[in-house]
Chains A and B, each alone.
Chain A
Amino acid sequence: MHFTRGSIRAFASVISARLKPNLMEVAGALMVALLAATAIGAPYLAPYDPAAAVANSFGDPAPPSRAFPLGTDELGRDVLSRLIWGARISLEVGLAAMAVTLAIGVIVGLLAGFFGGLTDFVLMRLTDIMLSFPTLLLAMAFVTVLHPSLLTILLVIGLVSWTGVARVVRAETLSLAQRDFVTAARSLGAGPARLIAIHILPNVMPLIVVMAVLGTSSTLLLDAGLSFLGLGVPPPTPSWGRMIEEATTYFRTAPWLAVFPGLAIFSAVLGFNLLGYGYLRRTAPRRSL
């Protein structure tokens, strides 16, 4: 989901809101923590090498058994080990792509909101242009043209998803730039760089953090979608999206192959969404992001 054009209100309430997390946030945080722990601990948690043939199930995936709790795939690989290592690559891609998204979006938003005028017009039309494209289609075209690799995928996801961040940051900057403490600093001779760095950015920061959490859920989904279409990080890196793609061949004879990687993506995305929207609902119930 993209950030939507919503009513942008002053965000003081967010800053002042005391940290008193609700159940949703706790649940979300736990899910995210579990994902992170799996990703970090993958070498210790995975019972087998995720790329090696450890069973003789070539061409005919084997159902779950004692030795292989989630079965083995058509290349004789342990599905559980692949799932565990998949957490690492998914989180890496999700977070790094989010960083790219934020970097572009925040810079564009700050510049457009702070300088206004022609800068604003040009940057916002650029945003309009990017928003007009069908996101997944554009990402597919870019990845194919540049060949799929970890770096390509990060950059492409960032390149197609920064517009929402830019719009929100611009609106926020616009309202901050007219506030007393900014005009006061300006009259005291502070230059644009200083104004942005010291007075604007710190005040936009809480909003950026929320968008980072919610944005990670979108980048995770986009990455999974690209992987499903065969445009993800190339093998043997086990990615959840590609595991589902591979499983579609066997969806009648070995449905478990599709079920578990999907659950993994679902719970990872849900974790970030619960955390982000749970927080928003508590602190700024009228904000629609």
Chain B
Amino acid sequence: MFRFLLRRIVVGLGVLLGVSLITFLIAFVVPADPAVAMAGAKADPQTLAIIREQLGLNQPLYIQYARYLRRALHGDLGRSYIRRENVTALILERFPATAILALSAMALALMLGLLMGGLAAAWRDRALDHALFVLSLGFVSMPVFWIGTLLLIVAASYLKLFPLGGFGSWSALVLPTITLGLGLAGYYSRILHTNLGEAMGQDYIRTARGKGLSPRGALIRHALPNALAPLLTLAGLDLAGLLSGVVLTETVFDWPGIGRLAFEAVFNLDIPLIMGTVLFGAVIVIAANIVVDALYAWLDPRIRLGDLG
């Protein structure tokens, strides 16, 4: 168990190293001179030369990378070119807003997904099943920025049920949650439907049925708990993805999370902030993977690294 975990962490660190290298390289093929980004439109060449020297931009790339890595390991992701602030602090300041939205959207997605997937499986191959299947595909096919804009038009602008975006009240959370949650709900409902179908074909379900349990009883008591575990694993990994910032939803609703921060960073070519948000997102995902794998291994010692691909 311990060796498995250690191996998993070592591989995770290797992946992280690769991630940091790619992030670093994005920043250095950037067509803009960081000195110009910092000194602004009106700076003269002399000032720019001084800033370049100071940032160490004249040093070879590998030295710059080593320095970047050393600082990142200490949690220092550098300072924003535009805002001069500590990138780590800026990201952490925005994290709660993203976390609230991610958790609430995930809760909606799981509830709605369970309901839809469960109902569809209970009425397998009936009209309801097909209708729910098409509905789930409809959910995943909607562009989030469009459904978000439509919700703003209808629910906020015309019906005045919710605020037009912004952050700071519980009612402001409703529309972004729906926007972000629907697509995931459609996805989970389809996964659950498939998993339940698979579970219902297993021997233990046949045994239960043989003991006189009704199909729906077997579905709820035996198949559901088994189909739920992989779904929750998936949801855990997806949650990590959401926590790294939901750019489109946050942009539509002016939600002050990491996604909006990243969006602003990209538009200002604020390189340390772009690198910081990308790296932060990757770290969350890698950590979530390790945690999920460890949980699996802890619960089921037969599982070995190779099985997890």
Among B19, B30, B194, B198, residue most surrounded by chain A Cβ atoms (within 10 Å): B194
Interface residue B217 (Cβ < 8 Å from any Cβ of A):
no
User: Could you give, for residues 257-270 of chain A, a 1 whenever the CB lies within 8 Å of some chain B CB and a 0 otherwise?
Assistant: 01101100110011
Evaluate contact between B245 and A132: CB separation under 8 angstroms.
no
- In the bound assembly, the distance between CA atoms of A262 and B194 in angstroms comes to 29
* Contact A134 B241, CB 8 Å, known A144-B269, A244-B146: yes
CB-based contact A134/B194 at 8 Å: no
Is A270 a contact of B137 with CB atoms below 8 Å?
yes
B198 near A286 with CB under 8 A, answer yes
Alpha-carbon distance A277/B136, docked complex (angstroms): 11
- How far is A55 from B30 in the complex, measured between Cα atoms in Å? 41
Residues of A within 8 A of B30 (CB): 145
In the bound complex, do residue A137 and residue B143 qualify as a contact, i.e. CB atoms below 8 Å apart?
no
Contact of B18 among A126, A217, A286, A287 (CB under 8 A): A126
Q: Once the chains bind, are A137 and B133 in contact (CB under 8 Å)?
A: no
**A128–B194 touching, CB < 8 Å:** no
Given contacts A132-B285, A266-B146, contact A137 B134 (CB under 8 A): no
From B143, B262, B263, contact of A221 by CB (8 A): B143
Q: Does A273 contact B (CB under 8 A)?
A: yes
Stretch at the interface among A68-76, A98-106, A248-256: A248-256
* Interchain CB contact under 8 A, B153 and A251: yes
Q: Could you say which residues of chain B place their CB within 8 Å of the CB of A126?
A: 18
Most buried by B among A144, A225, A251: A144
Instruction: Determine how close the nearest CB of chain B comes to the CB of A71; give it in whole angstroms.
Output: 15
Q: Is residue A40 within 8 Å, beta carbon to beta carbon, of the partner chain?
A: no
Contact between B26 and A274, CB atoms less than 8 A apart: no
Is the CB–CB distance between A262 and B134 below 8 Å?
no
Q: Which residues in chain B, 254-296, are within 8 Å of chain A measured between CB atoms?
A: 259, 262-263, 266-267, 269, 274, 277-278, 281-282, 285-286, 289
**How far apart are A249's CB and chain B's nearest CB, in angstroms?**
11
Q: A145 with B29: in contact, given A140-B266, A229-B263, A266-B146 (CB under 8 Å)? A: yes
Known: A125-B18, A261-B146, A262-B150. 13 other contacts (CB 8 A): A125-B11, A134-B245, A144-B267, A144-B269, A145-B26, A167-B309, A221-B141, A225-B144, A244-B146, A251-B152, A277-B133, A277-B137, A288-B190
Q: What would 22 A/B residue contacts be, using CB atoms closer than 8 Å? A: A7-B198, A132-B15, A132-B19, A133-B281, A134-B281, A137-B277, A141-B266, A144-B269, A147-B31, A221-B141, A225-B247, A229-B263, A252-B157, A258-B146, A262-B146, A262-B150, A265-B146, A266-B138, A277-B137, A281-B133, A286-B201, A288-B195
